[in-house]
Amino acid sequence: MEILREIANSVIAGNKKRVQELVNKALEENISLEEIINDGLLAGMGVIGERFKRNEIFVPEVLVSARAMQAGMDILRPLIVNSKGIIKGKIVIGTVKGDLHDIGKNLVSMMLEGAGYEIIDLGIDVSPEKFVEAIKEHNPDIVGMSALLTTTMPQMKVTIDTLKKEGLRDRVKVIVGGAPVTPEFAREIGADGYAKDASEAVELVNSIISKK
């Protein structure tokens, strides 16, 4: 459908205003939320994810496109909330205690939201106790932790150990990421998965949710 292609292209171009206009137009034309999200916003973000993977573009360009996608999602969010069927799962995400970096985490949040997940973003410098509170309150399917400093990586293990102590570990899948984090480290600390970037995070979450 031409309008969905236009939405995808506007996301790729990072044209926030045009994405909003086209999403509103698609709604007026009674195109379904699923189609607007999957064949418009997500299709565009999928192209960006692939280009990012191939090092054809870098974080600044990805963020511009992600914000354009987000602008479209902002229009759709109230409608999605009213039609629960679209939400694939719920994810609590945060940058661990002592770490104030959030560009990567924000990108992952935006991509996951665009992929149809409800995101509870706890922000930066999130203590293990805050993760515990969020799990008790929101009952998510997955908890995502990010760290950009080697000095804050151990907080991921502290958080997982705290979840065990609180009897919550079996209730959620835990995924980790961030520049210094490796698949080996993820296994060592007992995480359920590792993603090296935002597009991989979406693939990882999709595969975890599909097995539930």
What are the residue ranges spanned by the domains of the chain?
1-86, 87-212
CATH, domain range 87-212? 3.40.50.280
Closest by CA position to 138, among listed 92, 199, 73: 92
pLDDT value at 84 more than 60: no
Per-residue model confidence as pLDDT tens digits over 111-155:
888 778 999 999 999 999 999 999 999 999 999 999 999 999 999
Task: Give CATH superfamily name and number for 1-86.
Answer: Methionine synthase domain (1.10.1240.10)
Cα–chain-centroid distance for residue 30?
A: 27
Question: The whole model's pTM is what?
Answer: 0.75
Residue 76 main-chain phi, psi, to 5 deg: -80, -25
**How far is 171 from 17, CA to CA, in rounded Å?**
40
As a whole number, the mean pLDDT across the chain is 93
82, pLDDT greater than 80: no
pLDDT at 157 over 80: yes
